[in-house]
Each structure stands twice: as C-alpha cells, then as structure tokens.
Structure 1
Amino acid sequence: MNYFKQILVLFQISFIFPFIVSGKVVNELNEGIAYANVYLKDTFDGISTDLNGEFAFETYETGIHTLVVSYVGFETYEIEFNVNSDEFFDITLTELITQANEVVITAGSFGASDDEKVIVLDPIDIVTIASARGEISGALEALPGTQPQADKEGIYVRGGDATEAKQIVDGMLIQNPYFSDVPDIPQRGRFEPFDFQGTAFSQGGYSAQYGQALSAIVDLKTWSRFGDFNANTFGLTPLSMSYGRAYGNDSTVCGINLDYTNIKYFQDFNRESFLSDYIKERTNFSKPPSGFEIKTNYAKKFDKGVYKYLGKYTDYSLGTSTYDAEIGSNFNLKNNNTFILSTYKGELNDKRNIQLGISYSQNENDAQAIINFNDESITYDADSYDDLSQVRAVLTQKFLGKSKVSLGMHLFDQSSNFLNYVFKDTLIDNQDINIVNNDLSSEVKLDEFLSTTFLNLDFRLFRKFAFNAGLRYEDSHFLNKSTISPRFSAAYKLGRNSQVSYAYGKFYQTPEIGFDQWYRNNNINFTNLNFSDLDFEQSVHHILNYEWSKKGKMIRLEIFDKEYDNLITLESQNGCDDGIYSCVNNILNNGYGYSRGAELFWRYDQTSDGIGQDFWIAYSYLDSKRKFKQFSNEVIPSFASNHKLTFIYKNGFKLSDDSGFNTSLAITATSGFPYYDIWNEQQYESEPYLSFDIGGSYLPNIDNGFMVIFFNISNPFGYRNSFGYEYVDFDGSEIKEEKLPSSLRSIFIGCFMFFSIED
C-alpha cells in the first residue's frame, strides 16, 4: 500500500520550479579538476564535475545554502549563497600537503546521505528497488547481512531476530515501527522513506549513543529543508486517497496530510479477475485492511539551530480467516497508533552544540482470536496497550580540529498491558484439545523506567587514522539491574581510495516481554514470575572491514563475530514433556549462542540526475547457532540461512526532453531455511529461496502537475517459495503446516497524477 504514498510524497517535493547551479572547478594552475563532488550541504542536490571541471545541476532549494566542493587531495571548498536565481561559480581548490583524503570509520555501517559515511541508499533508492515494496526494511533486505522472511515483519540481521534490530528517528526510539502483528501475515512499516532525509544502517558495532539492540540500528534523520512554496496536493490510487496542504519559506515549513486506504478492491482483483489463477492469493481477509492516517510536520530555523516536529496518528482494522497454529483460525484486529516527536539541534558557540528531544508514542490493539472446533467456538480477547515517553539530551564539544566528545542522557518511561492465557488439555466430544485455564490466565501489566547516560569520544587528529571510543550506562527499573557497555571502533587509510576498519562493542537489551508475541503463546504463568530474577540479554561484536570506493564504484568486504549470552529460555514449571500447551512454563536467562560470517558488497553507480545505470551484487555467508526460547539445545535459528546472494539493477533514461522511463530488477536467492519438529527436536531445511521482482515507471510531463504510470511484478515465473513447516498439536494429532508467502505472485499496474495549486 505504501508504494503509492512514496509516489505522492515524491511529487509533493517537486512542485517548485528549479534553479540551475553551475560553474567550473580548477586547481591552482587553472587546470580543470574532473570528478570533483559538488553539492548543496544538507541536501541531496549535487553532481560530479566533467572532464573539463565543469558542472551544472538543478535544485528546488531556496534561501541561504552552502555549496560544497570536495576532491581527493584538496582542501574542501565551501561558500554560502542565497538560492533565489540561477548561479555560476568559478572555484579554485587548494592542494593538501598530504594526498590522502580523510579516513571514515565504516565497520558495520551502511550510510545513506550521512555526512560521515559512504552513500549507499537514499529515499529514491528505497522506492525504486523492485523488491523493496516501497518501504525502508524492504530496501535494507537488498544489502548483505539481512534475511528475507515470508510470514513475519522486521529486519533480521546476521543471525539476530527482529526484536534485536531497533529503528531510531532523530535519536528517539520508535516503539512500534510496524503495523500490529497479525498471524502469518508480515506487516508493513508505519513510516515512508520520504519522511526522512537519510538512513544510516548499522549492522553492529554502533556507538555508545544507542543501546537496547543486540544486533542492529536503523538511524533515520528527518528533513531539514526550507524553501518558498504554498500549495495543495491531492492523490488518488486504486488503494488510497490523499490530501495535503504544505507551506514553507526560508525559515519555516509546515504541512498536513490525510490518507484513507482500503484494499478491498485490490483483493477482489487478485481473487476474482482473469489473473486470479496466475496470482494465487493465499491470504483470506474476512475484512480487508482499511483505515486512515493523519500526518503533521513543522520545522523552524533559527540563527543557530533548527526545531522540528513530526506527528502521526493511524487508525485501521482488518480480519483474517487463515488457520494459525498458535491462537486460532480467525483473527480480528482494530488498531490505533500515535507517534509524536519534537527535537532541537543547534550551536551554543563555534565549538559546542546541543541536541534535545522529547517523544511520546502509544499503540492500542482491540483483537480477538477465534478457534472453531466441530460445533464449538472459543473466543479469546487478545487486547494490548503500550506507550513510551522519552527525553534525550546530548552536548557535543569539538577539539583538536575535527575531534569531538559527546556527553548525553536518554530516559525511557514505558508501560505495556496485555491479556495472557494459559492453556491446558481438555476433552471435548472425547477429543483432546487445548483450552484456556482461567485459574492461571490474567491481565499482565509491565512498567519500565530505563535511564541511560553515555560518553563518546570521536578522535580525528590524523587524516589516515581515526578512532571512536565510548561508554554507555543503563539502569533498568523493570529488571532492577544496571549495565556498563564499552564501545570502540577505528579506521586506517591504506590509500586514496581504500581503508580498513575495526569495531568492537558489548550490547545489552531488556527482554521484549511486552512486545514479542512469542511470550504470549507459550503458556507462561506471569502471575508467579519475578521479573527481578531476569537479566539483560547481551551480545559482543567484533567486526573487521575493508572498503574501496572510487567514482561511483565500491567494493566492501566484512567479516564479523557475534557472541550471545543470557538469552531468554523457556523452562517447564511442572516437568511435563507432552508438548508446549500441556505445560505451565517459566522463563530464565539460560540461553547463549553465536553468529559469525563474511559479506561482500560490490556496487557500480553511473547515474546522473536519475539517468544512467546503477547495479550491485551482495553476498552473505552466515554460521549461526543459539540455545534460546523453547529449544533445549543449540539450534540454527529459523530466520538464518547460510548463504544469500542479491543482484539489484536499475536504469533510468529520457525518452524525450519532457519524459523519462525507469526500470528495476531485483533477484535474491538464499539457501534453505531451517525448521523444526517440536516433538522430537529434529532439524530440517526448506528448499532454497528465490525472489525475482521487476518494476518500471513512465513519467510524462504535465503542466502544473505530474503523472506516472508504473508497474511491479513479483515472482513472475511462479517459483514456489517455502519457509518450511510449523508443527502443531490439534485435535489430538501431531500435524504440520507449511509456511508460505501470502501469494504465489503479485502484480500491480497503476497511474498516479499530482496537481499543485499555488495560492
């Protein structure tokens, strides 16, 4: 569904006529410098110089901006100017004493539009990768280290499950980054790529500023873009209707967007059209997903800082009639979610700056799970509620050139309520099934106040060497325990275009009892559980990285080792061994494990202003085992395949001066995923996984507006993907249910038109 929102937001950015920034870059001998980087600071606008040192690019920015020109072996050139007309610059770069450009720590990190990391993905990448499904997590699956999943949402990184990867917006945690969990149906993210100016993906070894994530951090930055505009926007697609109002000038930006979505007609097309036998839809929505969203944003630029606000409210509902091994054959859900973020970032003086942030979020589910057995119907309320308030402050002091030290604090006030059921074996019509034991079922209320402080040193005294060291302290009221986490990373420049990096860190995470559905589906008696007996789960990362990059080309090789300890395990309270639902269980920190492997990433990007070819190949090898959850011994997690290979290809070209066409191809292949027979703990492996996606869009020119005709086809050749089987005790029998994608294929062909109305 969000694919259309990406198109809408992209067009909303495009309703101002552009200015042309051009010029020539030379050295001190007045010789043109080819392939110098020229861009407007804190924007995506820029280009590389040609063989003569000349450049020209379009920008929709207005107001005061800084033009930056950089090239290996020369001092970076910056000039501030007012973007209110076409501009031409004659620029002379001064050669450095050393010919080595500045080293950057990259171990464990992929950056997108981050000033200190190589640009790998930007919002345009995310919505044009054929397999990305128009969302951030889908695009990250095209990078090495991540694993695709068919029946659950989230980002699975280097042998870690989805709860180990956290998403951050302007330093603040997103507690519910995905729509609420539905049995066997992966949910989309609540945020669109164009909500953010850039994305930095850390697959481990991240700095002391962040915590509560055993595997990965997705660091998202909201826009800091100002300009003169005043317009209404309207969008209409087969799935949704949108209306927006946007206003901006050189110091203020504000906007509101309303969106209504209903996929009933899209589902009817998949099930009842002449293509139904080709698509083979497997998901049966008794009530197709529908709902509305209100999004507001505001930003204010001051002399030495920027204040930003982002607010979203979502209300939606759905119903499914698919058999689920854990809670029933029918599932109905009503959900509302609120997210509010307010931040300020500014300078106190030339060498000191401050970041402040407050955030509030809440998520409420009104859900029912229904088990139908012969003429019996048993209904369970599966309601839940959680909220999170956050306060964050960071003070940064620069010293010795580009070195800096940061001191910060982050407070989390979190609550979670849900209904917990404990099942027991019961005879109905002389047949043994599992129903609720009301004596042990209860409403569970969890409260957490997590206080954290951190100190981070970024040392950049030498141009060929850099290191980052930090300490993070966390104190949990829920666990009644505290931790200290050391972090360290370093990089050394081998030559003009290559470097090596190393990262180490210890990471802690509070057990996700209030949010991971696994805790609610395994007969845990929370009434007698003493949470202070639990401890932080933990991991230790070692990452070694080599990277070479030049003129749109990149080769990146990384090896890693991740050791787990204190993982949550399921322990029977009464010693029974007749299956999960026959037992009343307890949870302990008796788990452990490891993930180690190697990854290769090669990219060749020869695009300019969206025209040209861009492709990459990513390979991952993963060796991972862990003793965790209900498993009594070390096993390979079901979300960890040994091998993964991804190929991404994109090509953009002009059909005429007024129109263009873009194509995209994405292929992902993995070795089989493990699955288990829970009755005898035998491990099996599914068939290899193969994902093949193609997409394209045609963009004709329309006066005072924009139009796009687009298509996307997933798995056109009908490869049958299976993620193995889930073993279930039902009707007194041990049966297995195959885990399959929601449809064999998917097709979408659509048209979108955007019109701006200037006041």
Structure 2
Amino acid sequence: MKKFIIFLTTILTSTVLLAQIRISGSVKDTKGRIIAGASVVVKDSYDGGISDSVGYFSFKTFEKGNQVVVAKSTGYKTVETQITISSEAIVTNFNLKEEVTELKAVTVTAGSFEAGDRKKASTVLSTLDILTTAGGNADIVAAVKTLPGAQQVGEQEGLFVRGGTAYETKQFIDGTVVNNPFNASVPDIASRGRFSPFLFKGTVFSTGGYSALYGQALSSALILESIDLPDQSQATASLSAVVVGAGLQELAKNKKSSWGINYNYTNLAAYFALVKQKPDYFHIPEFHTTDANFRIKTKAGMIKFYTSYGASNIGLRRPDIDSLILKDAFSIKNHNFYNNISWKENLGNGWKVNTGFSFSTNRDELYQQIQNPSNTPTTTSYSWIDSKNFTTNSRQDLTQIRTVFDKRLSGISVVHFGGEYWYGYTNTNYNNTNYILKDNFAALFSEADLYITNDLAAKVGARFENSSIINKSNIAPRISLAYKTSPGAQMSLVYGEFYQKPENNYLYSNPTALGYIKATHYLINYIKTNALQTFRAEAFYKKYHNLIITPPNNIYYNYGDGYAQGLEIFWRDKKTFKGLDYWLSYSFLDTKRQFNNYPSQLQTTFAATHTASLVVKKFITKINTGFNFTYSYATGRPYYDFIANGNKYDIKDQGKTKDYNNLGFSLNYLTKLGKSYAVIVASVTNVLNSDQIYGYNYNYSGTYKEAIRPPAPQFYFIGLFLSWGVDKRQDAINNNL
C-alpha cells in the first residue's frame, strides 16, 4: 500500500508540473532602458513575477486559453497584452511608457525666473532672499535687479529689461495688472515699490516670452501671487530713524479665514539731518501707507481681498541749469488707492476657475516753479526759462475684471482660456487745460500646457486684444518648447509676439492715428538644477516694431523700430562653501532703437552693454547673525543732447557715463526682547563711496551739461522689527543653512 501511494503521488505531481506553463520576457521603457522591479501578472489570477536587475521576469501559471498579462511599474503607464496559453512556454516582452507626473515633468524655463513652493527646482528668489539682499532695502524690484536681464537704472523708478523702457514692464498681482506699482517720484530720483515682499508667496520674473494669459507688456512681466492663510496669528512692529509701523494678522480658530491690517509712517527729516542731501528739500519726503486683507477658505478654493492706501508729499529745489542764480522748485503730492479681490476654486471633473477684480485710483498734484535766490516765484524775459513753470493735476483710474478657466486634459496636460476687461480713465489738467482719456480694453486668450512625455513639453497659446482709444486690435501667438536633456537639466525654446498701447502722453492729441507698438521675442535657454545649485544660460533676440517717433512738430507716428539681443548667465550655489549662499549673474546686451526723438537707431540711454551682480549671504548660528553683500557692476550708458533741425533732431553731443559700481552690505541680528521676537537690521549702500553718474542734463543752448547723481552718495539704515506670535528667526536660520 505504501509503495502504491508513493507511485500515485509521483504520477499526480508530474501531471501537475506538466500542466504549468512558463511565461517569461523582459520589461523596458520606450527608449529601451531596463525597468527593474516591474510587476508582471496574469490578470485575475495569483500567478506572476517581478523583473530583476536586468529587466528579466519568469513565472509559471496553471491558467489556460486566452488570457491577459499585465505589466506595471511605479512612474510608468500600465500595459496589458493578450496571450493564448496552451502547452508551450510563452515569451512576451513589455515596453512601458513613462507616466507624465508633475514631479518629473519638464517645464518651460526660457524667459522666466520663478520663486515659490510649487516649483522648487525653478526657485530663484524667495521672500527671505528679497529681505536679505544687501542694498535692496526689502524692495522687490531692487532684489530682482540682481538677476540677469535687468538693468541698473538709478535715476528713475521701474524695471528696465533687455533694452526695454520701464513702461514696457508690467507688474501683476493675482492676475490683474497694477497701474501704479511705485511710489510717487521726483525728476532724476528713483522711488521704491509700493508693496511689501511679505505679501507674496510666489514670484515670476519674466525677462521675455511670457504666457499668453498676460499682455500689454512689451518686454517683461513681474507676476506676483499673494499668500493664502497665515500659519498663525501675529502682531508686528517696526522702528527706525526713517519709518515706524505696526501690523496685526488674525487667524480664525478653525483656520479657515484670516484678516489683517498694517500701517507705516515714513518721514526722512531725522535722516536728512544726519546725512546731507544734494537737493534742498523744502518739504521732507513724507509717506503714509496702510493696507488690509481678508482671506477665506472655500469648499475647494480660496477668496482673497487686499486693499491699500498711500499718501506722500515731497518738495525740493535745485539750481536752474540755465541760470547762475535761479532755482527750480518741484513739488508733488500723491494719493493712491488700490483694491484687489480674487477667487480660485476647484470645480471638479478637471475644471478650475480663477477670477479677479481690481480697482485703483492715483492722484498727483504737482508743480514746478522758477524761484529767485529768496525762494520766491519769479519770471524772466527768457521764454525757455519761463516755460519751466507749470502746474499739473492728474487722476488715473483703472478698473479690471478677469476670469481664467482651467481644464485638465489627459495626464497633467491642461488648457487655460478666458478673458479680461479694463476700463481706464485719465484726467489731466496741465496749466489750466484739461485732457481726458478713456479706454475700453478687452482681451481673450487661450493657452495649452501639453506634456507629451516627462522629457518633452510644449506651451501653445494666443491672445486677442482690442483697445477703443486707438481703435485697433491685435492677435499675438506664443509658442514654447522644453526638452529634458538629462536628469536635472533641460533646454527651452520660445517664440512670441507682444503688443502694447502707446503711453498716455502720446495719446492726448490724436490717439486713433497711432497703433500698437510691437515686439517679437526669440529665446533659447539651458538650465541645470538640483536642490542646492542652479546654472542657467539664455540667449535672446527681440525685434521692435512700430515704436513712437516724436519729431519737433509734435506730430507722433509709429515709424520707429529696433532690436535687442544678448546672452545671460545665472549661477546660484548653496553647496560648495558650507553655510554660504551666493548667486552670480551676468548680462551681455546689444540693443539699438529709433524712437522718441532719436534721429536713427541708437543704443538707448538706459541700456548698458555689460551688467553683472554678485550676491553673497552668510548666516552664523553661534551669534544668530546674517551678513549679506551685493556687488553690482555695469558698463557706462550712453547719453545724448539732441537739437531740432527742421522736422527731425540731430545729435549735438554724445558720450558714455563712467562704469557703475555699487557694493551694498547688510546684517540681520536675531534676538528676543521680552516676549517679542526681534530682528535688528543694519544696511548701507555704496560702501566704497563710488561716484555714480546715471547720465547728464543739458542747458538750453547745449553748452553746459550737469551729471545726474544720487541725492547722496550712500544710504544708511538701522531698524528694529518685532513680532509676537510667530518666531521668524528660525525661518531665517533654516533658510540660510
């Protein structure tokens, strides 16, 4: 009996083994690269195996007939194949297509520097970077000027990018354009931006080729995204010889809403008493700024409201360039009111909506007077001197509404489409003559982010615009491509057309005689990045069309043109030197344009051929102190003296300024004062006391020129910043290690 059982068992075992069929093969990706650890199973069964280090798999199955074999691996799309199992071993090979994911997919990087949590690989400047950039004094644009593409222009506010004027760069907050992003200024002295870097969580500095979702910026867009809910409630206070302020941010107990308010008062009287200024200020610069916010979390989104009000008063005298005894007195009073509300919501089924509304009004009251040595108004027998007397009262209103819909396509590809409407109203009274401009501006846009693979992506879009004041329309196509060349490295190509209305001062006489000014952008860039280092190189060519020409007869027309081309390099490194963070940027710019009163294509007065910046930051934890240095350099910029000759201008004098050099330093000491967390900040610009000349002003006859310099060679700042509820000191330490 025992022998019979052994024999029967042997027969049954042999039968079972003969009934099993072996399935084997390999698993690779679409480029023929081995995929180890892939799971290969017969669908709806327990039979399967795992690919080994060379991508080979092998297993046996009892299944018979028509079956489905499934191969899957993390990061790849699942593949199924039909097989027929009979009595023969089966060999089947799999080629898995890589799954396109947000973490692995390539992104278009040409033409933009991004900062924020969403795209850490592209992060360039965080809020802390802006606050600790030496010489920037916590001004967003001052920090952005250390990036390639931006020019070191100190005699007027604005961001000058790749041969473009300040007017050709626009700032956007949560999608809507900001009409007056800088404080009121006086001639030959730049003003700082109105908005604190603490307001924003994300920043995109576009040096060219920006998204079709934005428009009316010929050269560049600075796109800012405000923060959502704060982490917790806090109170803040600041004290210095220049500014005092306080703020409160309150987070609801359920952490679904928050509100906040801030106020700052700036008066430079005490500072000017210590640091002498070249102009004679008869009204010391004085600023009142206040802002408030409210944020609420919705079912699947966020509503954010922000409002700000600013008032300023500045008055100064300078010697009149056409006289040995007379003076030019200039005064400006400014009131600015800005409001922005936005709503983002996930609508489900791959749909999202982002809509916003903003309203701003800006009022300037300014005058210029010729005054005698006793500082009283006077007149002369010379018309070219008396014509300098003027008064201007100006109001600029801008109302906007904008809506963008997002629809997710297959994978992570998304199509964006929407529209916006602007109503602009300007009322200017110049020497008791009124000039009114009204414009109804509308735009439609659509753009698709297409991810073909994790290594290849495209952004294709177009924008349609119509302006009632010039009675013109345009269509602007924009195309971008990005290809991942290796892990952490990629290349991008961008082409786009960009339009912008002429500035208001050209539109007062006959606006319909003018059309859009236009620029065509071509960009190529290479970027290689990891968690601690970023290398970026970009070449560009920009062609200008239909620029405004202003001949002596004051009949303006769109006959101007020009170009800008160059190469830019950026390197940021937090790895090589322990505890040291630095970045280096360099820009080469070749640009010429014929516009305004230029008689031919000339290098513009705001464009330097070579520009470079080195920013170095070192935080020493033992003493809780950060030391920051910024060195900026630019070759001399051209200057011209034009003289009318019939219906055109000739160049009477020209040259180049001396090279620009500026070494800035700041330190941040973190401590506690009672129950408050404290940061003591000290900074100075132009440490080496370099003679900085931005250009020249000419007298009426052109026989004398005067250098345009800063009001004082250096600017000093010492301030104390307190917070209750949030310890920002640890953030400063963590972000600088």
* TM-score, with structure 1 as normaliser: 0.77
Query: In the superposition, relative to structure 1, how do residues 244 and 324 fare at CA in structure 2: closer, same or farther (>3 Å)?
Result: farther
**How far off its partner does 1:233 sit?**
3.6
In structure 2, runs of 5+ residues without a counterpart are 1-35, 38-72, 77-96, 380-385, 644-649, 728-737
Structure 1 match to 2:109: 106
Contact 1:704-1:756 within 8 A present in 2 as well: no
Structure 1 match to 2:730: none
Contact 2:238-2:720 within 8 A present in 1 as well: no
| Deviates further, 234-243 or 490-499 | 234-243
**Aligned partner letter, 1:154:** G
**How far off its partner does 1:373 sit?**
6.2
Separation (CA, whole Å) in 1 of partners of 2:460 and 2:514: 29
| Deviates further, 561-570 or 95-104 | 95-104
Query: 1:486-505 maps to which residues of 2 (within 5 A)?
Result: 486-505=477-496
Structure 2 match to 1:133: 137
Separation (CA, whole Å) in 1 of partners of 2:471 and 2:320: 36
Structure 2 match to 1:356: 355
**How far off its partner does 1:754 sit?**
3.9
Structure 2 match to 1:370: 369
Contact 1:226-1:251 within 8 A present in 2 as well: no
Question: Is 1:198 aligned to 2:202, yes or no?
Answer: yes
**Aligned partner letter, 1:509:** Q
**Aligned partner letter, 2:247:** G
Query: In the superposition, relative to structure 1, how do residues 358 and 698 fare at CA in structure 2: closer, same or farther (>3 Å)?
Result: same
Contact 2:160-2:169 within 8 A present in 1 as well: yes
Question: Is 1:512 aligned to 2:522, yes or no?
Answer: no
Contact 1:328-1:369 within 8 A present in 2 as well: no
Residues 438-468 of structure 1: CA distance to partner in whole angstroms, max 9, x if unpaired? xxx8321111110000011110131110000
**Aligned partner letter, 1:251:** K
Query: In the superposition, relative to structure 1, how do residues 328 and 163 fare at CA in structure 2: closer, same or farther (>3 Å)?
Result: farther
Contact 1:110-1:118 within 8 A present in 2 as well: yes
Question: Is 1:602 aligned to 2:571, yes or no?
Answer: yes
Question: Is 1:742 aligned to 2:722, yes or no?
Answer: no
Contact 2:662-2:688 within 8 A present in 1 as well: no
Structure 2 match to 1:160: 164
**How far off its partner does 1:673 sit?**
0.5
What's the secondary structure of 1:503's corresponding residue? strand
**Aligned partner letter, 1:382:** T
What's the secondary structure of 2:494's corresponding residue? strand
Query: In the superposition, relative to structure 1, how do residues 396 and 733 fare at CA in structure 2: closer, same or farther (>3 Å)?
Result: closer
**How far off its partner does 1:606 sit?**
4.0
Contact 1:676-1:727 within 8 A present in 2 as well: no
| Deviates further, 611-620 or 380-389 | 611-620
What's the secondary structure of 2:453's corresponding residue? coil
1:614 to 572, 577, 581: 581
Provide the aligned C-alpha RMSD in A: 2.6
**How far off its partner does 1:413 sit?**
0.2
Residues 551-571 of structure 1: CA distance to partner in whole angstroms, max 9, x if unpaired? 311111100000001111102
Query: 1:308-319 maps to which residues of 2 (within 5 A)?
Result: 308-319=304-315
Separation (CA, whole Å) in 2 of partners of 1:309 and 1:253: 11
In structure 1, runs of 5+ residues without a counterpart are 1-27, 30-72, 77-94, 272-280, 422-440, 574-584
Separation (CA, whole Å) in 2 of partners of 1:252 and 1:101: 33
Separation (CA, whole Å) in 2 of partners of 1:590 and 1:408: 33
Residues 34-80 of structure 1: CA distance to partner in whole angstroms, max 9, x if unpaired? xxxxxxxxxxxxxxxxxxxxxxxxxxxxxxxxxxxxxxx9869xxxx
What's the secondary structure of 2:709's corresponding residue? coil
Separation (CA, whole Å) in 2 of partners of 1:485 and 1:178: 28
Query: In the superposition, relative to structure 1, how do residues 126 and 707 fare at CA in structure 2: closer, same or farther (>3 Å)?
Result: same
Query: 1:12-51 maps to which residues of 2 (within 5 A)?
Result: none
Query: In the superposition, relative to structure 1, how do residues 242 and 634 fare at CA in structure 2: closer, same or farther (>3 Å)?
Result: same
| Deviates further, 618-627 or 244-253 | 244-253
Calculate percent identity across the aligned residue pairs. 31
**Aligned partner letter, 1:283:** P
1:215 to 219, 224, 237: 219
Query: 1:179-578 maps to which residues of 2 (within 5 A)?
Result: 179-229=183-233, 231-249=234-252, 250-271=255-276, 281-323=277-319, 329-372=328-371, 376-377=378-379, 379-420=389-430, 442-514=433-505, 526=508, 529-573=509-553
Separation (CA, whole Å) in 2 of partners of 1:639 and 1:490: 31
Separation (CA, whole Å) in 2 of partners of 1:336 and 1:74: 58
**How far off its partner does 1:125 sit?**
0.4
Residues 582-627 of structure 1: CA distance to partner in whole angstroms, max 9, x if unpaired? xxx121111100000001111102499xx92110111110000000
Contact 2:423-2:440 within 8 A present in 1 as well: yes
2:661 to 676, 690, 697: 690
Residues 418-445 of structure 1: CA distance to partner in whole angstroms, max 9, x if unpaired? 2346xxxxxxxxxxxxxxxxxxx83211
What's the secondary structure of 1:146's corresponding residue? coil
Query: In the superposition, relative to structure 1, how do residues 241 and 491 fare at CA in structure 2: closer, same or farther (>3 Å)?
Result: same
**Aligned partner letter, 2:541:** D
Separation (CA, whole Å) in 1 of partners of 2:576 and 2:244: 33
Q: Which has the larger radius of gyration?
A: 2
Separation (CA, whole Å) in 1 of partners of 2:319 and 2:341: 42
1:709 to 664, 680, 683: 680
Separation (CA, whole Å) in 2 of partners of 1:392 and 1:133: 33
What's the secondary structure of 1:453's corresponding residue? strand
**Aligned partner letter, 1:497:** G
Contact 2:169-2:219 within 8 A present in 1 as well: yes
**How far off its partner does 1:225 sit?**
2.5
Separation (CA, whole Å) in 2 of partners of 1:692 and 1:119: 25
